[in-house]
Structure 1
Amino acid sequence: RLCYSMSQSNHVARNASLYNKPFVEQFEETPLVVAVLTYMGYGILTIFGYLRDFLRDWGFEKCHVARERDAQKDFVPLYQDFENFYTRNLYMRIRDNWNRPICSVPGAKMDLVERVSKDYNWTFEHTGMVVREVINMGSYNYLGFAENTGSCAEAATASNSVYGVGVASTRYEMGNLDIHEEMEQLVARFLGVESAMAFGMGFATNSMNIPALAGKGCLILSDELNHASLVLGARLSGSTIRVFKHNNMVSLEKMLKDAIVHGQPRTHRPWKKILILVEGIYR
């Protein structure tokens, strides 16, 4: 999921030619008609939401969402007013689009359990039918490991027969395998750096390991769209943090040159270490 790369000499990356030209990221603009209709839909739902709340206050409509008790009115509220309003009046109208139960492996396509609601999405009932071949757009299956057939599944099966299902320990203790070191060497060759360290995926991987790599007197150059775990780890490290534009090597190179030339603020001493934080896949 994430690799930290480190370089200590004026080493030229083998794929440096890819960054000779400025990187320009473009996104398709939302059509005006779609934007207008979307805001109109939200506006209509909001107006009818206030009307439903009025009917609920008079007992004409039942509300299933949790509310504060009268005995708790003098305490800090557990639910924010608009958040609760949005949940019961807007989200509930389209709730059937989320949290769909699946009955297959979460691959590129998957099967869903069909469900229906008779009370406007407050509760659901399963029909016993299956909706097949639905495109999966909400899984972290970047490398295809969730599939039960294909090259990834076959490679995983072959690896399990040699190494077992897991090392059940950290790499520092008894969890370091030859394939781990082979992967790190491959990543280092691809990035054109001396070495690389690979970690298991997880929020704590970034938030807890970055403080071990950098600290006070160090500089962290972070992509502006980095995950919250990277942001938290950078802040916990106590290092100076500077943010460069997303996937923009020109912006990163400028900050890196300025950091090397000018050094730390006020003292202008060289940074103890400069750590560049980027993600392999942004979502």
Structure 2
Amino acid sequence: MGKGQRALHSFKSTEYIEKPRDKDGLVIGGDPFKLAPSTSASILSEKSASPAVAPKVSKAEVKASAEEKNELEAVPTFILVTTYLSFLMLIVFAHMRDFIGKLFHPEQYVQLRVQNGYAPMVSDFESLWTRRLYGRIRDCFNRPITEVAGGHVNLLERVSHDFNRTFEFTGRIRNVLNLASYNYLGFAQSEGPCADKVEEAMKEHGITQASSRSEAGRTRLLVETEEMVARFVGTEAALIVSMGYATNALNMPALVSKGCLIISDELNHSSLVSGARLSGATIRVFRHNNTADLEKQLRKSISQGQPRTHRPWKKILVVVEGLYSMEGEFCNLPKIIELKRKYGFYLYVDEAHSIGALGKRGRGICDHFGVDPREVDVLMGTFTKSFGAAGGYIAGSKALIDYLRVHSHSAVYAEAMSVPVLVQVSSSMRMIMGEDREHALEGQQRLDQLAINSRYFARRLVEMGFMTMGDPGSPVIPLLLFSPAKIPAFSRECLKRNIAVVVVSYPATPIITGRVRFCISASHTREDLDFALEQISEIGDLLMLKFHKDKVSPPERRIKTE
């Protein structure tokens, strides 16, 4: 790969598919898997449309959406070269410091050597990144906060006098604009209708059931909330899990095992990777959001069968995310559904970031594309983002959920979700669905406000000349920083201006795509966003981040992935 085309992600414009806009041009408003995949696909196609499914997206609309992603544009070669050189220099100097340190200060490396016959828990090579590179920018992460992480958050100020080895609190508290939390719909509140109901539930039921759901933790509210989740998502049934990470990591091993095949997007979340590894199934990876490569993997895997024996796979499970939180991109669900009908595999969609945040009614990626949720075999989501709660869910057919209630470790062994958290989930979900009589319109208002804020913020960033990632309408908007020196500098400059952001670099992302990730919320006002944009523009000039400064109108651009 030359000519600056080594990037692994799609860079897309922030303009949206044509819809009604305001004056600013913004949008308003038993093992159930034992059936043969082909049989399952035919059954799904014969089912009636789900009551939660949105109107189908026409072929013309899909074509128009595809045409919005126009010409391909490579990252400037100079930026790529300097980024690689910067990382190379950091790593070389890190090894040099270790080498010199072991010669002149061996006492500082005792914990990295064999002691009394015990091998070190972590070797010096394995810990190099943490000790020598992450330590330099440690002040940009794990910043302690107090009170609720809403549209604004109170930050405990701290300083370091020993190059980020330790920190001291200054005793001062700073109120900063929060562009770092996944508080998409603004339900992270300490007051309001949801918080009031949670407080009442806590007084009546306490904090926890101190039991798994298979013993004494299955409350009436848990059953009612699961039924509501199934109705909200548009499936027959749902299973609630008390931890979002465990929803993936502990349920996937119950679905597939040895002799099965998992085909996973290369940028899937760590919880999906953990679940796939725990399952014992064979794992293959396809290029991010590349349905052509997915089909290639399917054809190859089906034709060759299992390794060595070449027997047919027991099951094939394709795993994707609805909204990729590091990239701000949507999976190409309509095309994946087409492949599902063609090849008869099972489909697992992680909607941790898309549920509640996408679609006119907040039903997630299926609502966004107008796809019947019953065409997806397993729908997973979390309550930690759009609902301001904790935990997650698995939704699907009744046969699937009944099977998981018995075989999933998250259902049998994990502690059941506490009543206060269930109340937060049910009250916020009821508000989104418009079933809360006292606040019937508030849920839809939050959805509309999130859509307006997301598109406004993304469009303004592109107009200012920044290089952004993501699909139109995503509440997660990554802005490319590239250089490892600019990543901590951007975070520190934002904090000076009372803005909290999350910066991300290797190994969480590919080396050349270090970024800052803005998380937009319905709780942000236009004044909040304008203030942030003004400050970000100043920082962009300071750090020379406006790679498209001469382009006034929002260009359609993305980095070539092929």
Range class of TM-score, shorter chain = 0.5 to 0.7
Which of 91, 109, 112 is the matching residue for 1:68?
A: 112
Which of 141, 159, 171 is the matching residue for 1:128?
A: 171
Give yes or no for the alignment of 1:159 onto 2:234. Answer: no
- Name the amino acid aligned to 1:121: N
Deviation of 1:107 after TM superposition, in Å, equals 3.8
Could you tell me how far apart the structure 2 residues matched to 1:47 and 1:217 are? 44
**Kept in 2: contact 1:113–1:129 (CA 8 A):** yes
Could you tell me how far apart the structure 2 residues matched to 1:161 and 1:74 are? 54
**Kept in 2: contact 1:219–1:242 (CA 8 A):** yes
**Match of 1:181?**
223
* TM-score, normalised by the number of residues in structure 1: 0.66
**Match of 1:278?**
349
Alignment of 1:1-283 (within 5 A): 10-11=46-47, 12-13=49-50, 14-15=53-54, 17-18=56-57, 21=62, 38-53=83-98, 55-57=100-102, 59=104, 64=108, 67-69=111-113, 71=114, 78-133=121-176, 135=178, 137=180, 146-161=188-203, 163-212=205-254, 225-234=267-276, 236=278, 240-243=315-318, 246=321, 247-260=331-344, 276-282=347-353
Q: Which moved more, 1:45-54 or 1:117-126?
A: 45-54
For the residue of structure 2 that corresponds to 1:281, the secondary structure is coil
Could you tell me how far apart the structure 2 residues matched to 1:221 and 1:49 are? 37
Deviation of 1:186 after TM superposition, in Å, equals 3.2
Could you tell me how far apart the structure 2 residues matched to 1:151 and 1:31 are? 50
Q: Comparing both chains, which one has the higher relative contact order based on Cα–Cα distances under 8 Å and sequence gaps of 6 or more? A: 2
Deviation of 1:125 after TM superposition, in Å, equals 2.4
Could you tell me how far apart the structure 2 residues matched to 1:108 and 1:134 are? 6
**Kept in 2: contact 1:224–1:245 (CA 8 A):** no
Q: Percent identity among equivalent residues?
A: 39
Deviation of 1:279 after TM superposition, in Å, equals 1.6
Deviation of 1:231 after TM superposition, in Å, equals 4.4
1:153–1:103 Cα change, 3 Å: same
- Name the amino acid aligned to 2:87: Y
1:233–1:92 Cα change, 3 Å: closer
Deviation of 1:56 after TM superposition, in Å, equals 2.7
1:201–1:108 Cα change, 3 Å: farther
Greater C-alpha Rg:
1
Could you tell me how far apart the structure 2 residues matched to 1:30 and 1:191 are? 39
Could you tell me how far apart the structure 2 residues matched to 1:184 and 1:91 are? 41
- Name the amino acid aligned to 2:139: D
Deviation of 1:75 after TM superposition, in Å, equals 7.9
**Kept in 2: contact 1:114–1:131 (CA 8 A):** yes
Deviation of 1:105 after TM superposition, in Å, equals 3.4
Alignment: residue pair count: 263
Which consecutive residues of structure 1, in runs of 5 or more, have no partner in the other structure? 261-273
**Kept in 1: contact 2:147–2:154 (CA 8 A):** yes
* TM-score, normalised by the number of residues in structure 2: 0.38
Q: Which moved more, 1:183-192 or 1:13-22?
A: 13-22
Deviation of 1:253 after TM superposition, in Å, equals 1.8
